[in-house]
Amino acid sequence: MVNLPIAYYTTLLRPQLWGFFLFDFERGFSWCWCCKVFGVFVGFAWLLRRVCAHPPIVVLGVLWIFFSNYVQWWFSSPVMLPEMLASWAICTGCLLEFFKQSQRWRLTLAFVLFVICGTNFILCLYPPYQIPLLWLMVAIGLGSWLECRQIHDLWFGKRGLLATAAAILLVCIVLLPFWIDARTTLDMVAHTQYPGGRRSGGGALSLFKLWSGCLAFFQTAKTLPTVYNNICEGSNFYPLWPFAVFVAVLARLRRNSSVSPLVIALGIFAICLSIYCVIPLPKVFLRTTLLDIVTERRALLGLGIANILLCCVFLDRFQSSVLRTSTKLISGVTWFAVLTFVVWITYHHDPAIFPDLRQVILAIIGTGAVVTLFAFERKRPWALMLIVALLIITNLRVNPVMKGLGPLLHSEAFEKMENLRASDPSAKWIVYRQFLISELVLASGAPVLSGNKVLPDFDFLHRLDPSAGGGHIYNRYGYVYCDLPGDLGQPSAHLMNDALYILYLPPDLPLLQEVGVRYLVFPDSSHESELYGFTQVYGNERAGIFIYKRL
């Protein structure tokens, strides 16, 4: 459920996890991280080569995807976003091979890759990302079919449909034992308040949040607009697709030039998903398309990938001049003026929204340069190169490279936790007033009541709350942040957001001793610990880790 390496048959179809069984832990982790990096490069190079004829465009498109703010800031998320994207891209490329390829050995290779990557994609188990990507796959397939008809290229329709159906059926057969084993857990997740009970109606994003990627250049956690809680939620893709669609439509009207059906299909997908993000839609439509379980923020992933694919296909198909120089200049200036106006209106409405106006100005200048270059056919590759260069400058240090895991595995605090866990393996832990330390305790192998929980610990919570009055708070996937209650002796809970709630637990609560809680972790030294029946056994002021053991 959280994409961790386990000794289960599905791991055979998840290459990113093989290293943990083939090598030592540190090299296994390195293998997993390299799969994230090279998986995105290989997957999207495979896909783009099947929709674009020019290798330089493929290279620029892959770099644009990899260094986008959204991908970099969600790079190590529990849903394995890079592996999900790579698996999806390879599956989509294989889908096109089913319909276009005439060589039997390449068809066989595509079939095998589709089954492996399709299984891996599904096992990432995050529908809010996966559903838009599946619809994008459909759009690419339909657009490619119509384009082949337009240019009278080979398209093996019946064989492609049979191969696709057979591959999907085999994926279902492969996952059947997993579903039998996991259906109880999946049913419990489906009945949680979040994410099981969450439904989206569309329209949750403002136009500014939809187009915030225009300000992606040079953006950091310190320059993030104040409408976002953190840089991950505030990340987005640089949106160039509206301008590409605008130029394509203008060329069709002015010069009667044909537009690639693939560009049209990707454009329709991007427009429809954008409408869903900013306008509420009928429930029947949302249920039919499954968009009711896709939040508007998560839909930005599918929209961002479609944006990059559309621009690459547009650049590949529109090589000759189709607009007059004056029209190109007017188009570029108009687009730049619209963006500047939207930013100005946003700033006028709330001057505090931009912590650093210098970053905003630099981003707008960068956008102006990109749009101006993109308006001219011969300069369009330079526009993509400029986007890639600016994104590399912005995000190169988001995920720094480290040699080995020594700073974590051999840190004094972690080794102390491991020793305490080894001496008392059944003891449970609680981490107070800290977010990340719970995961460090969990990594030592010790059971911990705080921290990130895919499912709530119902055995403990039902004993803590026999009347189930707080079920709407704790019956969810989320992070359990523990703190001391104001009134010692009275446990309570407070919901902060969908994925975070505070659990106020007095350390001397009899129930904690009954369930086996024998270690507490605080960020500072507590002089009241002995009042709770605990004594300090380790302290590290620099790391902010103080461990207390029950007397």
Q: Provide the pLDDT for residue 253.
A: 77
Q: Provide the pLDDT for residue 487.
A: 66
Checking if the pLDDT of 481 tops 70, the result is yes
Q: Which candidate, 90, 45, 87, places its Cα nearest to that of 63?
A: 45
Checking if the pLDDT of 139 tops 90, the result is yes
CA dihedral 94, 100, 102, 105 (to 10 degrees): -10
Q: Provide the pLDDT for residue 322.
A: 62
Separation between Cα atoms, residue 318 and residue 323, nearest integer Å: 11
Per-residue pLDDT band for 32 (boundaries 50, 70, 90) equals very high
Separation between Cα atoms, residue 432 and residue 113, nearest integer Å: 46
How far is residue 306 from each of residues 222, 233, 517, measured CA to CA in Å? 29, 19, 49
Mean pLDDT calculated for residue range 161-165 = 96
Mean pLDDT calculated for residue range 479-498 = 86
Mean pLDDT calculated for residue range 369-377 = 84
Q: Enter the tokens of residue 551.
A: 């007397």
Place of tokens 């605090």: 413
Separation between Cα atoms, residue 207 and residue 209, nearest integer Å: 5
Mean pLDDT calculated for residue range 122-136 = 96
Checking if the pLDDT of 316 tops 70, the result is yes
Task: Give 514's contacts (C-beta < 8 A, 6+ positions apart).
Answer: 463
Domain ranges of the chain: 9-395, 408-550
Identify the DSSP state of 6: -
Q: Which candidate, 479, 509, 516, 508, places its Cα nearest to that of 494?
A: 479
Separation between Cα atoms, residue 201 and residue 287, nearest integer Å: 10
Which of 186-190, 420-424, 482-486 holds the top average pLDDT?
A: 420-424
Q: Provide the pLDDT for residue 1.
A: 60
Proportion of the chain above pLDDT 90, given as a percent: 66
Greater confidence (431 vs 403) lies with 431
Which of 213-227, 295-309, 368-382, 519-533 holds the top average pLDDT?
A: 295-309
* Least confident segment among 27-41, 64-78, 122-136, 522-536: 522-536
Greater confidence (376 vs 58) lies with 58
State the pairing for strand pair 478-483/500-504.
parallel
**Residue 267 half-sphere exposure, CB side, CA atoms within 13 Å?**
18
Checking if the pLDDT of 454 tops 90, the result is no
ω into 400 cis (within 30 of 0):
no
Q: Provide the pLDDT for residue 285.
A: 95
Q: Provide the pLDDT for residue 530.
A: 65
Checking if the pLDDT of 152 tops 80, the result is yes
Q: pTM of whole model > 0.85? A: yes
Computed over every residue of the chain, the mean pLDDT equals 90
Separation between Cα atoms, residue 16 and residue 35, nearest integer Å: 5
pLDDT digits (tens, 9 = 90+) for 419-446: 999 999 999 999 999 988 999 999 999 9
Mean pLDDT calculated for residue range 405-414 = 87
* DSSP codes of every residue in 34-69: HHHHHHHHHHHHHHHHHH-S-HHHHHHHHHHHHTSH
Per-residue pLDDT band for 275 (boundaries 50, 70, 90) equals very high
Per-residue pLDDT band for 320 (boundaries 50, 70, 90) equals low
